Structures are given as structure tokens and as C-alpha cells.
Chains A and B, each alone.
Chain A
Amino acid sequence: MDASAILSVEELTVEMKGKSGISPAVRNATLSVRSGAWLGLVGESGSGKSLLALSILRLLPRAATMVSGKISYQGRDLSKMKEAELAKVRGREISVVFQNALTALNPLFTAGEQVADVYQFHQQASAHEARERVVALFGAMGLSDPENTARMYPHQLSGGMAQRVMLAMALICAPRLLIADDPTSTLDATIQAQVLDVLVDQVSRRKMSMLLISRDVRLVSALCSTIAVMKAGEIVESGTVGEVLDSPSHPYTVQLIVDAGIKERRPFRRAQEAAPR
């Protein structure tokens, strides 16, 4: 096992119960995220990449069961942890951001309340302190009127605002690892770029590690240092972005690169300041 890994998943197998019986959705998957590094997990819809991510924090849907495997986070096996112990890890040490922020938020509470709740749970802070924290973090997320946004209910938020709120919820307890499951794929292109600016800024400033799950090979190649390719429940290839994309060994990886039309790779570039008027 890699000693510098903050998270390692070994020989993970997840089974799905369906109409036609039990079928494996993730088979013998092994990957590790090194401390401070970004790993991109790519694959088409249905390849099992989201199930793999969900099983890390034991958030699998009822129809899915983790059958075998080991999930170590800083030397501790998450899959054997008691539920109460794991609750302390979720949100505080490992956070998740899902694809569709608007459905992930609770419609009955304001954005501010939901984020403050997470902070109060983990840090035993006062309501007032939590509130101040939330507003400050909303500002750092690039929300233009943080005070007002905190008072809004999810249906009043646009997709881009909701995803920033989710990101704030994931980051408020300063976790060490962020699992981001296709966080920007439902957003318009220009909004996607804005949200990615914030994500990259915040995660790199806090020197966090990230597991980024995406269908967009190009995006992963621009953001991550290592990449794992998943197909039909199996990880078919993994390595540094340079190794995998410049000399892919699995035919499926070759196909993904051709289909994405990647001819050259450039690192992600954050927003530039406007030229002086």
C-alpha cells in the first residue's frame, strides 16, 4: 500500500439487486488518492464510478451492497467503522459534492441554515458563530450577496448558486478530502467555469485532496494529477494523467481520448483579472 495515500480503496466489490437478480456494479476496484493530490475517476454513465464514491462514506442506495474490499482513510478502515464514528468523518474529514445541487438541498430549510447545521454538528459552535462562518464562506464562494443568499430557500437559488452553497457545505468544516461527483455537469458552460474557479481556488488554498468523478476526460486532464478509467464496474487503467493520456494501454481509454477530441493538454486556467479601463 502506498504510504502517502490519504485514501485507498482496495479490491472493492459492490453488488446491485435488480429485477433480474444480483449483479456486480463495481468489481475488484482499487485506487488511492495521495495526500494533497487530485485523482480523476472517468467513465461513461453506468460504469459504476458514482457507486464507488458512495461506498467510501457508506452512502450506498438500499439496492446496493458492498460485498468485499477495504477502504482505508489515514490508516483507518471506514468500512468496519461504527455508524456513530463514521458520522464524525462525514463532512468533517471527508466531504461529498453531488451532481445536482438543487435536489441535494433540503427544500424546507434556508441555504444558510443547512450549511450552519453541518458546522454546529461537528464543531459544537453557537448558532451565532455558525451563522457568521456561513456568511463569510458564502462570500469566499463568490456569491454576490452572501447575507441575502443565506436567507434564501433552495427553490430561490439558481443552479450555479446552489452548487456554490453545496460546496460551502462541503468545505465549512475544513475537511482533508473532497469527493466531487460531476459537480458542474448540469450547469451552463460559463457558470461551470465560474464554479470551477471557486472549487480550484478553495481546494488548492486549503491543500486538500480531491477525488473528482466526471465523464469529461478533458476536464479531468486539466485539473487532476492522476487518473483512473472505469468501464463496466472495473478500473481498466490508472496512472498519472501524462502516462495514461499520452500512452494509453487499454483500448477503451484510447476510445475515450479520441471521442473527447483531445489533441493537446493544457492545465486549467482560472479567471484572469480584467484589463484596466
Chain B
Amino acid sequence: MNSSPPQSAETPFLEAVDVRKSYGVHAGWTRIASITALEGVSVQAWEGKTLAIAGESGCGKSTLGRLLLGLVAPERGEIRFTGHPLGALTEIGWRNFRRSVQMVFQNTLTSFNPMLTVGGTVADAMRLRSDLISKQAKMGEAGHLLNQVGLEASLLDRYPSEVSAGQLQKASIARALATKPRMIFLDEPTSALDASGRRQILDLLSRLQSELGLGYVLVSHDFHAIGAMAHHLVVMYLGQVVEEGPAAEVLKQPLHPYTRALLAASALGSSRGSGWRIRGELSQLPPGYQGCRLYSRCPHAAPGCRELQTLVAVRPQQNVRCWRAVEIASQSDNSERKSHQN
């Protein structure tokens, strides 16, 4: 089956181009304020590769996910699927998009229909396929998919409440595979699992990627998962991309103060877990403010940080939205070294 339209090597499979999205805060019928969830965000996802989007609650990663999946439309900018803007897709184009881009959610117990068996749910997703019509053929394929994700076909007849969280997360990957997608959107796929389940899911996802050439968009705050899977990493803070680049580079040498704080906080008790912190908590910005969004929380804030900040290439392919990134990074690397010696 060759359902994907022709594309050149330079066209990303799925792409957000300078998207903006805001939400209204309402009191009754009146819109009293608006909160910008995304501001000028551009990301690209490729087949066979993993794009990781990292950040904490309120950074806009879920909103970006909803835009990429075509569930909501951006106010400005556009989402492109194999180079075609989603807004201009025909009905057949939309079907192809839905078939080619699938999703796996964080909480499997709420994303499975409790009234359907696991097999029923996986088979139901095959409505988008034209090659499987009879119920028998669909169930046969569902059993095959369960085997592919390392589950026994006997799970087909069980209900979601009768299987473990780890098994259900594998089944939800099987459900995503049911439409023969080229890309899967993974929303915190491991955060509801304990350590052993997490490792199994990561191993499974990596194996499927190399076997099927799948692309992934991985939304996560688990740097263990990101380190194991991601090729490209985008770090977001308050609706903006603050740093992006090849995952290995960004993880090895993070430059933006926020990326550094996030990495240090995620690796307490290892050599990466430094004493680098940001202060206070997430707060909304005054309207019209153009400067660095981390300003009030950054330990290195200076008056110049209130000026407009743009994403600048600091190293090849590594872009950072902080005018003092290099200076701060070298300063604190020096002080780290000193404190190690003491």
C-alpha cells in the first residue's frame, strides 16, 4: 500500500510553520482576557526520526500537539502535511492525513472505551483501511498487531479493566499501528507507568521505528525517554521555543538557562543534576511584553533581557533564544568545575 503522496527529501512529513494560538478567558459571555498558548512556533517532523518536544505544564506542548494533529486550527501560521497546508486538504486528503498520523495518549485507562474489548478497540481503528472489510479479517489483523507489540493474541477478548497499565499502553500502540501510519504522536507515553513498564515501552517504540521506518513526535518531560529516543529536541517555555537542536547536542551541552534548569532538575542524584535552578513559578506576562519570558525567574537576568529575544543559531543547527546563552554557559561551567574540585 502506497498511500502517501510523493515528497522530496527536503519536505518534512509534518510541519508547523510560525504558528500562533491563544485561548480566551471568559466571564459569562464576555471575553475578558486572552492567554497566548503558542507564539511563533515552528517545528519539523520527519519519517523514521523522532522529534521530541520538552517542557513543563503551561509551556504549550499540548496545544502544539493538538495543532499538529489537526484537532484545532492555528490563528496564524499553518500546519503542513507532506508540504500541503492542512487547511487546504480535501476530504480524501484529510482521510489520508488521519490514516498516516496516529496518536498514543498518556492515560490508557481513559483513552480506551471500557465497553469494548481490547481487540474491538484495535479493530475499530481499521475503519480507515479499505483492504479489511470483514470482522474476521479485522480481528485477525488485530491479533497480528498485538503480537507485533509483544502481547499475546489472547488479550483480544479482554476488557481494558482486566489488563495491566503496561499491557494497555502496548495495546494502544497496536491500535495506532492499525491504520498503517507513517507517523505517531506520542503524548507522555511513559509517564503513567513505573520504571519497568517505561523501559519496555521505550524498547518497543525504538524497535518499531527501525522495523517500520515510523516517525515520532514525542511530547515528554522525561529526559530518560528523550535521551533514549529523540533525534531532534525542541524545548519550550511559555509558548515559545527557547532552544532546539540535535537531541544529543542539546542534552550534552544545553545553552538556554531554562534548558539547563530543566535538565538539572530531571537528573537529581546524577552528575548532570547540578545546583542550577530557576526561581519562582510560571506566571503570565504583561501584554505587549517582547523580552525573554524567563526574565523574572532566571538567576542571570540582566536589563538587556527585556529586549526582544529571537532564536539565534549558536552552534550548527542548535538555536537558542537567549542573548547571553554562551556567556552564561561558560561562566557556570567554570563554577561547576570549581565546586567539583572543592
Residues of A within 8 A of B (CB): 44-45, 144, 158, 160-161, 188-194, 196-197, 215, 217-219, 221-223, 255-256, 259-272, 274-275, 277
Contact-size category for B: 35 or more
Given the complex, which residues of A lie within 8 Å of B269, measured CB to CB? 218-219, 221-223, 265-268
Residue of A nearest to B280 (CB): A144
Report the minimum CB–CB distance from B200 to chain A (whole Å): 10
Q: Give which listed residue, B56, B196, B270, B299, contacts A188 with CB less than 8 A.
A: B56
Shortest Cβ-Cβ A-B pairs, 3 listed: A222-B269, A259-B195, A274-B299
Report the minimum CB–CB distance from A246 to chain B (whole Å): 15
Given the complex, which residues of B lie within 8 Å of A267, measured CB to CB? 269
Q: In the assembly, what is the distance between CA of A215 and CA of B193, in Å?
A: 11
Residues of B within 8 A of A (CB): 56-57, 194-196, 198-199, 221, 224, 261-262, 264-266, 268-271, 273-282, 299-300, 302, 328, 331-332, 335, 339
What are 8 residue pairs bridging A and B, where the CB atoms are less than 8 Å apart in the complex? A45-B194, A160-B281, A193-B261, A215-B194, A264-B271, A268-B273, A269-B268, A269-B275
Given the complex, which residues of B lie within 8 Å of A161, measured CB to CB? 281
A192 touching B302, Cβ below 8 Å: no
Given the complex, which residues of B lie within 8 Å of A222, measured CB to CB? 268-269, 273
Report the minimum CB–CB distance from A268 to chain B (whole Å): 6
Given the complex, which residues of A lie within 8 Å of B221, measured CB to CB? 188-189
Q: In the assembly, what is the distance between CA of A255 and CA of B282, in Å?
A: 37
Q: In the assembly, what is the distance between CA of A275 and CA of B275, in Å?
A: 12
B277 touching A260, Cβ below 8 Å: no
Given the complex, which residues of A lie within 8 Å of B281, measured CB to CB? 158, 160-161, 191
Report the minimum CB–CB distance from B190 to chain A (whole Å): 11
B56 touching A266, Cβ below 8 Å: no
Q: In the assembly, what is the distance between CA of A272 and CA of B342, in Å?
A: 14
Residue of A nearest to B264 (CB): A193
B270 touching A266, Cβ below 8 Å: yes
A272 touching B274, Cβ below 8 Å: yes
Given the complex, which residues of A lie within 8 Å of B57, measured CB to CB? 188
B302 touching A190, Cβ below 8 Å: no
Given the complex, which residues of B lie within 8 Å of A269, measured CB to CB? 268, 273-275
Given the complex, which residues of A lie within 8 Å of B262, measured CB to CB? 189-190
Q: In the assembly, what is the distance between CA of A44 and CA of B279, in Å?
A: 31
Q: In the assembly, what is the distance between CA of A255 and CA of B200, in Å?
A: 13
Given the complex, which residues of A lie within 8 Å of B280, measured CB to CB? 144
Given the complex, which residues of A lie within 8 Å of B275, measured CB to CB? 269-272
Residue of A nearest to B274 (CB): A269
A218 and B194 in contact (CB under 8 A), knowing A144-B280, A189-B265, A275-B335? no
Q: In the assembly, what is the distance between CA of A191 and CA of B264, in Å?
A: 12
Q: Give which listed residue, B198, B282, B339, contacts A259 with CB less than 8 A.
A: B198
A218 touching B277, Cβ below 8 Å: no
Report the minimum CB–CB distance from B54 to chain A (whole Å): 10
Given the complex, which residues of A lie within 8 Å of B339, measured CB to CB? 272
Given the complex, which residues of B lie within 8 Å of A160, measured CB to CB? 281
Q: In the assembly, what is the distance between CA of A158 and CA of B56, in Å?
A: 14
Residue of A nearest to B267 (CB): A218
Given the complex, which residues of A lie within 8 Å of B198, measured CB to CB? 259
Residue of A nearest to B278 (CB): A190
A272 touching B276, Cβ below 8 Å: yes
Given the complex, which residues of A lie within 8 Å of B268, measured CB to CB? 193, 196, 218-219, 222, 268-269
Report the minimum CB–CB distance from A272 to chain B (whole Å): 4
Report the minimum CB–CB distance from A261 to chain B (whole Å): 6
Report the minimum CB–CB distance from B284 to chain A (whole Å): 13
Report the minimum CB–CB distance from A199 to chain B (whole Å): 12
A277 touching B277, Cβ below 8 Å: no
Q: Give which listed residue, A158, A263, A274, contacts B300 with CB less than 8 A.
A: A274
Report the minimum CB–CB distance from B267 to chain A (whole Å): 8
Report the minimum CB–CB distance from B29 to chain A (whole Å): 24
A277 and B300 in contact (CB under 8 A), knowing A190-B278, A272-B339? yes
Most B CB atoms within 10 A — which of A192, A194, A196, A272?
A: A272
Q: In the assembly, what is the distance between CA of A215 and CA of B282, in Å?
A: 26
Most A CB atoms within 10 A — which of B269, B273, B274?
A: B269
Given the complex, which residues of B lie within 8 Å of A219, measured CB to CB? 268-269
Residue of B nearest to A273 (CB): B299
Given the complex, which residues of B lie within 8 Å of A272, measured CB to CB? 274-277, 335, 339
Residue of B nearest to A47 (CB): B194
B224 touching A261, Cβ below 8 Å: yes
Q: In the assembly, what is the distance between CA of A192 and CA of B72, in Å?
A: 32
Given the complex, which residues of A lie within 8 Å of B279, measured CB to CB? 194
Q: In the assembly, what is the distance between CA of A154 and CA of B179, in Å?
A: 46
Most B CB atoms within 10 A — which of A161, A270, A271?
A: A271
A259 touching B199, Cβ below 8 Å: yes
Given the complex, which residues of A lie within 8 Å of B328, measured CB to CB? 275
